[in-house]
Structure 1
Amino acid sequence: MDNQQQSSVSGVNRPRAAEHMALHGLSALVATTPENINYILGSQLRASNWTMQIYAVLPQDVNARPAVIIPTNRLGVIAQMGISGADLYVYSDFFVEGSIAGKASTPDIDLFYSLMQNTTSHAGPVEALNAALKDLGLEGQAVGVDEMRIAPDMLAKFSEGLPGGTAMPAYKLFRQIRQIKTPFEIERLRRAAQLNEAIEQQLIDMIAAGVHEKDIAEHYRLAVMKAGGTPAMTAVGAGPRSALPLIENYFREIEHGDQVRFDLCLQLDGYWGDTGRTVVLGEPTPWMEQHFAAVRSGWEQALETVRPGVKASEVFNAAVARVQKEGIPHYRRQHVGHAIGLELYDDITLSPGDHRVLEPGMVLCVEVPYYELGAGGFQIEDTVVVTADGYEFLTSMERKLFRK
């Protein structure tokens, strides 16, 4: 499969990955976490328990096909998902029986049976990984391994055959490569954000006196799943509970005069959506209007600061200073946003200690929330991609204090 075809089914930026591997003297990277495997393959392959090992190999050579190392029983998943951009290396015993001629079948069952018959099985994951590197002509060469999801004994066994008997830890390197999103990834992130906003609007429409927080949260989760996504953090807090940053226990019914704060996260095709809004049932109080205006002003200042060449910490400082100036002099935050992609927090944060420079192609969630226990909280959160001269929204929902 050529590079153009490969990029159409996964988000991996092969030239950028090759450049970073060359800088570290690596011939290949081995992904072990679901996010990094998805980056290479364009499909989610998740282990069903902590002992199961699944890897993907990304060679430095952009013309070489990736390899995937999986237990033999995962060939049925491969057959259903249609992964064709990588060579398969399987390990461990697993048995299925072939169909009797004339019996009912489906294409994925036929492919599963064919793969079972024609794929060599290795003794274990390290043996399969070594076979993949040997076939790529990389046996005994320096390799980086995403250390976050490989069993320690497996990593030690694999490292024995590498120069110096060690594999370079590569989880951070993967995240660095993934900082700049490909057009494929930006489109995936746009779809995730748009789905999140569409369902968020449904939640806003539900708000009325007597409606339970739990009903709104359950509606969100079910709507996400029906749309093919996976719901994650579902912060739906009414009245004083809107000041709780994370909400896992829902017990309040919405009352007239309540503010309701949403902070909603989902995954769609492996990519994250994270958006937030604030709604008031009835007329907002002067306190609500003042504090929301200050939050929105800081959020606007953060966006005005986002552009290539600016440090992440500069965005933070500008946003916090604006909120303090515009009505909340005691305002404090640990960050005013974060990169988003295959991980919810995808490496960079708009925080005082992150001095990395923004580059075109980075995708950021920009948020300047405020939580005051005993009073309430406010949220505006949107997703933007850094462009050559500023930013572009991936979200489109109104940025206001909604009123019902």
Structure 2
Amino acid sequence: MLDKRISEILKEKKLDAILVSDPFNMRYITGFRGGEGYVYLSEQRQVLLTDSRYTTQARDEADGFEIVQVDGTADYIKRLYGFMQEENVKVLGFEDEHLIYVSVKGLQDGCPGVEFAALGGALNRLRIIKNETELKALRQAEHVGDLAFEEILKIIRPGMTELQVAAELEYSMKKNGAVRTSFETIVASGINSAMPHAIPSEKKIESGDFVTMDFGCMIDGYCSDMTRTIVVGKADEKQKEIYNIVLQAQLAALDAVKAGMKGSEVDKVARDIIYSAGYQECFGHGLGHSVGLFIHEDPRLSPKCHEVLEENMIQTVEPGIYVPGFGGVRIEDMIIVKKDGHENLTHSPKELLEV
């Protein structure tokens, strides 16, 4: 039976059927983890089309879906058009935020007489509020991140390269049950820590360096995300000042966040603290984002996001200060939004650590 929420999308957007191409939406709707293929959805038919590499997996995972094996792009289009002809589909919703132009053009050319209607983020929004199964996986993924941070504190030292630290974090997460990382691990030391998304390099960590570590892993398909900044050696006064401003901003935002607030309102709590301390040019990104099957989901905590937060949404809270030529600090926790506050999934210490 078609998910009631998808039926509502069909009705609201006056569609006869929907074509799902985004692998995260495919996973969410069908349970299929392979990520290759299309899902065709109508009130009469729910079909997962994939190639021979994945058909056995699809039959095991996509309970209740018809599984159709296809052979190449032309066969995909032929099968899809066949379904639409059988059901007299006039308007097909497609994921315009995922499919590239050449794919859409191929589908349109191969399906004459069918109008293709852009869905925007309608299917993504099905994933915004997490259920208990999802929350369990998210808690475990963040716990594995906590374990990795605990272990890296025991071995990080001057002379290690950023790449070596990243490798140790990733090994620890996989050793503790992670299937893979949820994004490319960031380890940035010294002046590199002034780059929010620095790429780990052969740079050796020196005594007195800030070291920012942003990392996460996947458990049962769900992502974790956390950031901690430490000083290897002793922190100087400016490092302490910057760190404490970021920590104050993060704690204030965590105290403020709850269901019913707008993303922009939570962002402003942290941003006002950083700006009033004179670092308005050093915090250019939003305060946070949702996390789920994909690492960066909506809604977000940012000046531009005015969506109202709801209970059991996930958010990261990650203010930062980045001073070019000096270094930077980011502190990030992942939380579950609750009616009167939040549940923090990240339990690693946040006081300035000198190791």
Q: TM-score range by the shorter chain?
A: 0.7 to 0.9
Which of 51, 65, 72 lines up with 2:52 in the alignment?
72
- The aligned counterpart of 2:209 is 258
Which of 177, 188, 203 lines up with 2:137 in the alignment?
188
When structure 1 is superposed on structure 2, of 64-73 and 260-269 the one drifting more is: 64-73
Secondary structure of the residue aligned to 2:185 is strand
- The aligned counterpart of 1:156 is 108
The amino acid of 2:169's aligned partner reads Y
- The aligned counterpart of 2:164 is 215
Residues 141 and 178 of structure 2 are in contact (CA less than 8 Å); yes or no, is this contact kept in structure 1?
Answer: no
Which of 52, 56, 65 lines up with 2:39 in the alignment?
56
In the aligned structure 1, how far is the partner of 2:208 from the partner of 2:139? 34
When structure 1 is superposed on structure 2, of 236-245 and 285-294 the one drifting more is: 236-245
Q: Report the Cα offset of residue 383 of structure 1.
A: 0.8
- The aligned counterpart of 2:154 is 205
Where does the alignment leave 5 or more consecutive residues of structure 2 unmatched? none
Residues 282 and 323 of structure 2 are in contact (CA less than 8 Å); yes or no, is this contact kept in structure 1?
Answer: no
CA deviations over 1:220-270 (Å, ceiling 9, x no partner): 233444534222221112222222222324122222222211111333333
Q: Report the Cα offset of residue 321 of structure 1.
A: 0.3
In the aligned structure 2, how far is the partner of 1:386 from the partner of 1:187? 15
Q: Report the Cα offset of residue 346 of structure 1.
A: 0.6
Where does the alignment leave 5 or more consecutive residues of structure 1 unmatched? 4-13, 48-53, 94-121
Which of 138, 151, 175 lines up with 2:124 in the alignment?
175
Structure 1 stretches (4+) deviating beyond 6 angstroms? none
In the aligned structure 1, how far is the partner of 2:137 from the partner of 2:269? 30
Secondary structure of the residue aligned to 1:288 is helix
Determine whether 1:90 maps to 2:73.
no
Residues 57 and 68 of structure 1 are in contact (CA less than 8 Å); yes or no, is this contact kept in structure 2?
Answer: yes
In the aligned structure 2, how far is the partner of 1:224 from the partner of 1:181? 23
Residues 28 and 142 of structure 1 are in contact (CA less than 8 Å); yes or no, is this contact kept in structure 2?
Answer: yes
Identify if the C-alpha distance between structure 1 residues 395 and 28 changes in structure 2 by more than 3 Å, giving closer, same or farther: farther
When structure 1 is superposed on structure 2, of 124-133 and 354-363 the one drifting more is: 124-133
CA deviations over 1:65-115 (Å, ceiling 9, x no partner): 742011234324436x5443421022228xxxxxxxxxxxxxxxxxxxxxx
The amino acid of 1:84's aligned partner reads D
The amino acid of 1:92's aligned partner reads D
In the aligned structure 1, how far is the partner of 2:216 from the partner of 2:186? 9
- The aligned counterpart of 2:238 is 287
Q: Report the Cα offset of residue 21 of structure 1.
A: 3.6
Residues 90 and 128 of structure 1 are in contact (CA less than 8 Å); yes or no, is this contact kept in structure 2?
Answer: no
- The aligned counterpart of 1:45 is 34
Q: Report the Cα offset of residue 199 of structure 1.
A: 1.5
Secondary structure of the residue aligned to 1:259 is strand
Q: Report the Cα offset of residue 131 of structure 1.
A: 4.9
Q: Report the Cα offset of residue 331 of structure 1.
A: 4.6
- The aligned counterpart of 1:24 is 13
Q: Report the Cα offset of residue 152 of structure 1.
A: 2.2
Identify if the C-alpha distance between structure 1 residues 30 and 182 changes in structure 2 by more than 3 Å, giving closer, same or farther: farther
Q: Report the Cα offset of residue 323 of structure 1.
A: 2.1
In the aligned structure 1, how far is the partner of 2:83 from the partner of 2:149? 45
TM-score by length of 2: 0.87
Q: Report the Cα offset of residue 58 of structure 1.
A: 4.1
Secondary structure of the residue aligned to 2:292 is coil
In the aligned structure 2, how far is the partner of 1:276 from the partner of 1:149? 32
Secondary structure of the residue aligned to 1:276 is strand
Identify if the C-alpha distance between structure 1 residues 184 and 168 changes in structure 2 by more than 3 Å, giving closer, same or farther: farther
Identify if the C-alpha distance between structure 1 residues 363 and 195 changes in structure 2 by more than 3 Å, giving closer, same or farther: same
TM-score by length of 1: 0.78
Identify if the C-alpha distance between structure 1 residues 188 and 22 changes in structure 2 by more than 3 Å, giving closer, same or farther: farther
Identify if the C-alpha distance between structure 1 residues 73 and 331 changes in structure 2 by more than 3 Å, giving closer, same or farther: closer
> How many pairs were matched up?
350
Residues 291 and 328 of structure 1 are in contact (CA less than 8 Å); yes or no, is this contact kept in structure 2?
Answer: no
Determine whether 1:229 maps to 2:209.
no
RMSD: 2.7
Which of 300, 303, 309 lines up with 1:349 in the alignment?
300
When structure 1 is superposed on structure 2, of 214-223 and 335-344 the one drifting more is: 214-223
Residues 336 and 367 of structure 1 are in contact (CA less than 8 Å); yes or no, is this contact kept in structure 2?
Answer: yes
